[in-house]
Structure 1
Amino acid sequence: MQRRDRGVVRQREHERVLAPTGADDEDAQFAGHERRSYVPWILVLAVGGTVVGALVGGFTDLHVYRYAGRTVLDGMSVYAADDPVTGLPFTYPPFAAVLMVPLALVPGWLAAGLWTGASAACVAATVVVVRRAHQLPTPGWLVASVALATIALEPVWQNLAFGQVNALLMLAVVVDLVRPERRWSGVLVGVVAGIKLTPLVFVVLLVLVGRRAAAGRAVLAFAATVAVGLVAVPGASSYWTDGLLDARRVGPPALAHNQSAFGALTRLLDGPPPTWLWLAVAGPLALAVVVVGAACWRRGDRVLGTCLAAMAMLLASPIAWSHHWVWAIPVAVALWERSRWAAAAWSAVFVSRPILWPPWGEGRELEWGVADHVAGNAYLLAALVLASGVAVTLRRPG
């Protein structure tokens, strides 16, 4: 057993000795009472989301997901053609296509309903995990209220409107990293990375905070997803050889909705930057944000540490559409207990969506002035301000 692990064990034993008789039973009863409080509310949100999703339907990205699932069932290459309904390609790794098979087995209206309900439940569950990590009460009415309020955030309603997968992936990462370490810690991070490569950033976070065993499990789980994809999806190798580094296949990188460093540079330079310039800018910035996140984690705030790693992930990715920024939710919940003003300011950025204040679409981003670039890169800049503020706070004594 490593020295750090022995210290953790001794600390927990010390806490058990000092705890009053019956404290564990009381804590368990309290946790059970809270669970009975918030679970019904989450189920209500899930049912409500299912009904709304089934009635509304027509979610663009969900169409693409179902196309990928059908293609796998038909034994054809997912990457050889685009979805005939939307005309859009499937841009995720092969393993993700395998997971989309169940969506292809049910009618479109049912898939839309279940997907929306699952996303709503995941948003609420994320609120629960974050608040419990901070040892805050999680009554059902509060969880439901916060979850409903998040719909005002542009990334959240965009995520729901497109039928995106981001809320599900966010919950998986939060559950894996924020909760106390278990024997399977890191596995969910690896699986999520197999669905969407950018979460590999969380492996770097695990290494920096000394959780090398969890990092190893994440890498092994990711490798397993790659193997499954290669076996189950015909032509899967073309994703790794042709589509992986083609950011333009995902969409126009200059579009205002792309809130990554690559997108900001593309808009600033009137075209995609050279690879060396992108790496020279995004690499150090992302690494610095992850390092701040690791320092925050070591100070005892796993939630904010994980969220900062997510900010680094979005910053470093060639494409970080605005609906990828659902990580605004756990950041806002975490900031609320530190500073109401900071949480309000952070949330205001994503409610007011300044990224769409300047002219956008059809290449108009390439004509932006200085003020347009500031507003049009608001999510990216907010993440950098957050990381800088946390870094300053960590340097203060105590």
Structure 2
Amino acid sequence: MTPPLPRTDRGRLLLVLALATLVTLFTATVPLLRDWFDLRVYYGSIDTWVHHGGRVYDYRVPGTTYGFTYPPFAAVAMAPMALLGLHTAIAAALLLNLAALAAVLRLLAGPDWRRHGWFGWALTACLLALFEPLRDTFSFGQVNLLLLALVLTDATLLATGRGRLAGVGIGLAAAIKLTPALFIGLLLVAGRWRAAAVATAVAGGATALAAQVDPDASRFYWTEALWDTDRVGRLGYVSNQSVQGILARLGEPDRAVWAVAVLLILGVWAVRTRRAVAAGEWTAAFALTGLAACLVSPITWVHHLVWLLPSFAVLVRAGRPRVAGALYAVLCTSVVWLWFDDASGVDGFLGSNAYAWITLGLLLWLPVGQFCPALRTGSRSTSTTTAAPVPAAPAISPASVQTDPCSSGTAAATAGGVVAAGRASVRGAPSEPTASTLPADRKPQSSSERASSYTADPPPS
């Protein structure tokens, strides 16, 4: 049974301060700082391209083989960094990621986001700070939160009957990184032809713009860099939580096995996504697509798993806060890094792929068609139950035109489940750093050596 939350402002403030202290201790002792490694890649590549006349794909991080691996439009979008110093660019990236996170939470919480109050959002902020994919996104200076915000904007437009405007966000995201292109597939599966056409046109137009700006870089990317997976990192590196990563750690090099697994995953995704769309559950449909994209991409580093956030929203609003809390807690622990050096044996097979198993499990069993009527798109609530007076931690809900939950019990269960996730993650966290992120076979010692291999998602080859 979940202990009751404090009902006075003083009690709530003390709880938030206590959680913030625990989160600070956790983040100061368990995770390793990534030293904005990916942002340094972006910055160095743009600097080489704009100020030194080199190709954006020529740059390599000193002492490594890692360079820029995103499509050319990503370089065009990042070109303003050439006007900034490195430290200013880092500060700007932090602010952009904070803004993107706020947008993601706002989009997932739906139109009733105000009812959670400062207490609910403070609890949510503490718990999000524990989430390993989110920690790494900020520490690497990654762009996935920005892409998630773009994609969820389209989800909200579709869910609120403004589908004529949908597709732009997905198109831009797909032009910056290839993995979000699967969301165009979602629009096709859902029969949203106009939105799919808009997304395709935006992605194509952005790609054409990049080719106009730098034809040589575009030719090099689409004919050479795109197919060179060595630029991205080792497939068997423990941070790769995709199906390809699982197979690589098993020592299975056969691409045919991976292709069959991808086809099976896409089949499950298509069936479940169609069911979600038929039920009017656009957040569930987008959540399933994010899960499938993480699994089928040849490389899905841990920080790419911010695409799982919509799935936790779906679980909570479907009345599964305990399941959401348990899975969320695992994703806060950095547990996969215990098998950094050796992923052999049954324990290595299960433990080193823990995040991939969670992603696969969510794809197979994420509740679809089980939301209460008040939470379905376009439905109207008939409940007259008064909401509980204690603000719940934001039950990140499907974007919907509906503002009321089925009952006050739903809000209370949501708060209990989210807080339980935070307690579990803090209790279960190891007391020593569990991982390095340098894609080498030794443990790094300096902060600059703690950075991971470059993290762009290559497309299937």
TM-score range (shorter-chain normalised) is 0.7 to 0.9
CA contact (8 A) 1:304 1:334 kept: yes
Correspondence 1:26-37 to 2 at 5 A: none
Moved more, 147-156 or 174-183: 174-183
- What does residue 18 of structure 1 align with? none
Deviations 1:256-294 (A, max 9, x none): 1101111111111x25x2222211112221331243133
Select the structure that is richer in helix: 1
What code does the residue aligned with 1:232 have?
V
Say if 2:218 is the partner of 1:236. yes
The equivalent of 2:199 in structure 1 is: 218
Deviation digits for residues 171-207 of structure 1 (CA, Å, limit 9, x no counterpart)? 1111112333343311110111010001110011111
Offset, 1:66: 1.0
CA 333–354 in structure 1, closer or farther in 2 if over 3 Å, else same: same
Letter in 2 for 1:376: S
Which residue does 1:98 correspond to in 2? 76
Q: % of aligned pairs identical?
A: 31
Cα distance between partner residues in 1 of 2:239 and 2:34: 22
Paired residue for 1:251?
A: 233
Is 2:355 aligned against 1:379? yes
> 2:286 — aligned with what?
306
Q: Measure, in 2, the Cα distance between the counterparts of 1:66 and 1:296.
A: 40
> Whole-Å Cα distance in 1 between the matches of residues 124 and 187 of structure 2?
29
CA apart distance, 1:241 = 0.8
- Looking at structure 2, the residues matched to 242 and 134 of structure 1 have their Cα atoms a distance apart, in angstroms, of 48
Q: Does 1:327 align with 2:304?
A: no
The change in CA–CA distance for 1:237 and 1:148 in structure 2 (over 3 A counts) is: farther
Amino acid at match of 1:240: W
Shift of 1:139: 3.5
Q: How does 1:257-272 map to 2 (within 5 A)?
A: 257-268=239-250, 270=251
* Mapped partners of 1:88, 1:76: distance in 2: 16
The CA distance in 2 between the partners of 1:203 and 1:57, in whole Å, is: 32
Give the TM-score, by structure 2 length. 0.68
Unaligned segments of structure 2, at least 5 residues: 1-32, 374-461
Among candidates 61, 65, 83, match of residue 38 of structure 2: 61
Q: CA deviation at 1:302?
A: 1.1
User: What is the identity, as a one-letter code, of the residue corresponding to 1:59?
Assistant: W
| In 1, Cα distance between equivalents of 2:325 and 2:351 | 18
On the 8 A contact 1:72/1:98 being kept in 2, the answer is no
Change (3 A) 1:278 1:66: same
2:371 paired with 1:389: no
Aligned partners of 2:111 and 2:315: how far apart in 1? 13
Return closer, same or farther for 1:97/1:134 CA change in 2, 3 Å cut-off. same
Contact 1:57 1:113 in 2 (8 A): no
1:228 CA displacement: 1.5
* Matched-pair contact (CA < 8 Å) for 2:45–2:67: no
1:171 aligns with 2:186: no
- After superposition, give the CA deviation of every residue in 1:4-35 in whole Å (9 maximum; x if it has no partner): xxxxxxxxxxxxxxxxxxxxxxxxxxxxxxxx
Cα 1:161–1:131 change in 2 (3 A) is same
Unaligned runs of 5+ in 1: 1-55
1:361-385, Cα deviation, whole Å (9 max, x unpaired): 4xx33xx112211121112211221
Please name the residue that 2:183 is paired with: 202
Pick from 130, 134, 149 the counterpart of residue 152 of structure 1: 130
Task: Find the residue that maps to 1:76 and give its secondary structure.
Answer: coil
Name the structure 2 match of 1:80: 58
Aligned equivalent of 1:71, options 48, 65, 72:
48
**Could you tell me the TM-score, scaled by structure 1's length?**
0.78
SS at match of 2:227: coil
In 1, distance between residues paired with 2:102 and 2:125?
5
Whole-Å separation in 1 of the counterparts to 2:234 and 2:284: 31
- Distance in 1 between the 2:355 and 2:34 partners? 28
Aligned pair count? 335
> How far apart are the structure 2 equivalents of 1:352 and 1:299?
34
Aligned to 2:328: 347
Task: Determine the C-alpha separation between the residues in 2 that align with 1:134 and 1:374.
Answer: 39
Asked whether the equivalents of residues 133 and 303 of structure 1 are also in contact (C-alpha less than 8 Å), the reply is no
SS for the counterpart of 1:352 is: coil
**Matched position secondary structure for 1:152:** coil
Q: Which moved more, 1:274-283 or 1:129-138?
A: 129-138
Change (3 A) 1:378 1:293: farther
